[in-house]
Chain A
Amino acid sequence: MDKLMEVNNLKTIFRLNGKVLTAIQDINFEIYPGEVLGVVGESGSGKSLTMKSIMGILPENAMIEKGKVLYKGVNILNLKEREKRKLRGKEISMIFQDPMTALNPLRTVEYHLKEVISRHQGGGKLYSREKAIEMLKKVGIRNAEERMKQYPHEFSGGMRQRVLIAMALSCEPSLLIADEPVTALDVTTQVQILNLLKKLQTEHQMATILITHDLGVTSDMCTRVIIMYGGHIMEEGTKNQIIFHPNHPYTRALLRSSMDREKGVAKRLYTIEGYPPSLYEHLQGCPFEKRCRFASEKCRNEVPEYQYYEDGHRTLCHFRGEKLDER
């Protein structure tokens, strides 16, 4: 199958008070049509920034230092702003984490939807109105004609997230980037939104990048998973490889420390001591070295290289997974 998008060697830096801080580096991954790629990491691990780099919506003090993003074979980082704008929304859509702030409080829901539709698809007022109603119905909003006239504050969190999904999908994008789409929602609403995303994703055969920090959500939704930490991809593999045969110490620790229904109740929870590294720390070696129980002298001084396993499973570690089992 042809790759839909390929990210090569991406590195993004921040300029802050005359200092140059590296936020993400050495980011390589690809995504195929119709698959759900999970990007898992804690806050500050660089997962949102990676997506913003791809979409070309970085904050002003950030810039892409090197790398390529090939979308259907074209490097979209070199496109002019006008061409990028055509791509965003139509070919690549994004859903943001916080449904409370992503909508303009002074505009009706109808306005939001019609704007996206008329910008990318043209068509008359009538067409965009009909399309808007159709999309709202599709995401499970009842009385779409009436609710469309309402303002964002009249919608609950879950309903707002549905509106955002309707907006993102109204132009039938080939790639949807969902940045923590359910983190701000209650568990019961989470299930509804995730099921909706899954259904629409299968219907439209749309590739999806799902950013989350919840391994349960990942396991539920994704076919392939990338684990990020300190601006690096620490491990990549299929869902089953990551969940059942993790080979990176960080992935293993993350899985062990999370609570799960299927696991019994331990007397004490397993913890990863310490905190994620901040951008200001200048790291010579592996970003996880300080918190890793397998860390050695080598980890402190040398950036590790990828270890490869079967079916594209890889880890950024000095040690192979089998070796870790023995220790």
Chain B
Amino acid sequence: MPYRAEKPRQAPPSSELRARIPGWGVDLDPKDRPAVPKEQFDPSATGAHWDFPQRQPTKWPRERSIEHKFLTPVFGTSCPPQGLSGVVRRYAYRYSEARAAHWLLLMGADRINVVEARLQALLSGRPDSRIRETGILSEFTHGGVRSRVGRDRADLSHQWIDAVGFIAPYVAVAGVAYMLMRRQSDRRRRIGANGQGMR
């Protein structure tokens, strides 16, 4: 107990652990641990044969953190900023990484980007497929029920939110369609009733 000086004896003897557990103690000596100490200056060990890397050509004005002195010599070229989301992203990079505005604007741009992509796909005649892209059919092929029922999974407390999010658009579309159909049939009935009255 920590209320006295001695450390509580919790572990079996090392000899027992060494016999029972494969590899027990092989890295007991910190000298055998590759990242001890954390910083070990050895430029010859990295494989680099340059003092500073040659610069990669830029194909568009590459957004960068204002905490950097300059554009790093090498960078990723996936998905250049485009459209309204691109405008928001570029604006976000006016703020340092220390500012919440930087990250919140980027998160906002991510959401705008999704709407842009959906519309673009729709206009191109190849709309996104919720069924294929969510992989939802694996619920049937990989034990969706079996993986949840009767199991004390903590994530079940909030997974229903995902399910609601998935179903909600379908329910909304079905609801709107039902209302339109009902309005249409009411109109027909009214016209029919008026016609009878005239006769």
Q: Do A and B come from one complex?
A: no
